[in-house]
Amino acid sequence: MKVLSVDLGATNGKVVLVEKKDSKLSLKEIARFRTKGVFLPTKERSILVWNTPKFYEDLLDILNGLEEDVESLGVDSWGVDFALLDSKGRLIFLPYHYRDERTIGVMEKVLEKLGKRRIYEETAIQFLPINTLYQLYSMVMKEDPLLDIAKTFLMIADLFNYWLSGEIVCEYTLTTTSQCYSVPKNDWAWDLLKDLSIPIDIFPEVVKPGTILGRVKGVEKDVKVIATACHDTASAVVAVPFEKEGIYISSGTWSLIGTEADEPIVNEKSLSNDFTNEGGVGKIRFLKDATGMWLLEECNREWNLDYSEIMRRADSARSFIAFIDPDDRRYLLPGKMTKKISEYLKETGQDTPKDVGEFARLIFENLAFNYRWVIEKLEDIVDRSFDTIHIVGGASRNELVNQFTANVTGKRVIAGPYEATSLGNAMIQFITLGEVSDVKEARRLVRESLSLIHI
């Protein structure tokens, strides 16, 4: 059986064909396209948005050119960002990018209005200024006319599911990243939304991963559309090749560091350390969002080097030049990353990298130290220790970070699969179609089908 995984990442989108044959999995990348944000001028300032119609056009071209017969497709995407539709189901504006500056200072105003504890006990979500809740409230504060027109709210993968199938729903794993969803009620956090004057009639039904939405429109092939685990990390976690409980790092632009829990963990320690409880497939993803390769990606916008060359230079560069906090908010917005890092180092009296290799190595080392800090906090909160870290996702191919992580944590590191998101996306489709029994079998298939690196 063959299915398509459509993975919309914050830098690239890709379509991967995943086949299950004779108890083995194989992957074939069909196509890849750019999904980066674009700055558009307005009367006030340039705003950062996602050109989602272009992504959809690219996707349709890929699907129409597909020679293989597939049973279904599933779309996953990054979290927190959203689209708004009018009463006729039309996209009324390009979705804002979470790194747009419109949320600066907004989270603080919401916390002052509602209180941090109330929001956390209701949503169980980490406090990030980019969260959907604060994006929506920024529109309320500015009396954005788009909210007056809006009749439907959809997150990014939900928007593509709608365009592909015609069905208007929000998928559970993606919805839980918004900080607009109530964990105790298993529904939208209606009271929080009302108290922030966010219109509540725009929020649609929430469906579980594995819901068949219909068949693809606009292409000749007869292909089912399945709401997979639509948050990219939720899909990636399905493909983490756990043999026993452990820690995962879904490593890409962001590094999501966590473990699986049967129930949400909401207590003083999880609140004070700002851990999040996001929806998974039959489990809660208890984790912390940490900065990942974003720092390097932004630096490389200046360098424009092949990543293999960056790795080569970093490998031979000086070690432990200086220390930074990768999660410092000064690094959140795009632009001039080497300057931002250098200015911080000068402010704190530390040595400044002298070349590309030293900048890259500084980033890699500090990512690993930050991983250790998060893991120590996680183990304290769940009151147990783990001996293995699984690093999955695109950046699991970064051998230096993998080794640094093993060094600083003293734990065994297993790297791969790097296509975890596409694999996990496909596994939910296979489970829905009756080809795979459950997540446990899916993980066994991953272990037995793909090469993993043990450190």
Question: Residue 267, by phi and psi: left (phi above 0), alpha (psi -120 to 50) or beta?
Answer: beta
Least Cα distance to 62 among 285, 227, 223, 241 occurs for 223
Query: CA 361: distance to chain centroid?
Result: 24
> How many residues comprise the chain?
455
What is the phi/psi pair of residue 14, to 5°?
-145, 150
- Spot the catalytic one: 7, 76, 232, 289: 232
Token pair in block for residue 258: 């966590």
Question: Nearest Cα to 204, choosing from 149, 154, 150?
Answer: 154
Q: How far apart are CA 336 and CA 431, in angstroms?
A: 45
CA atoms within 13 A on the CB side of 138: 18
Q: Is 232 marked active-site?
A: yes
Q: How far apart are alpha carbons 170 and 158 in whole angstroms?
A: 6
Query: What are the two backbone dihedrals, phi and then psi, of residue 124, each rounded to the nearest 5 degrees?
Result: 60, 30
List, in sequence order, every residue forming a beta bridge with 453; answer none if it has no partner: 415
Burial 239-265, CB ≥16 within 10 A → b, else e: bbbbeeebbbbbbbbbbbbbbbbeebb
Q: Are 196 and 110 in contact (CB under 8 A)?
A: yes
Residues taking part in catalysis: 232
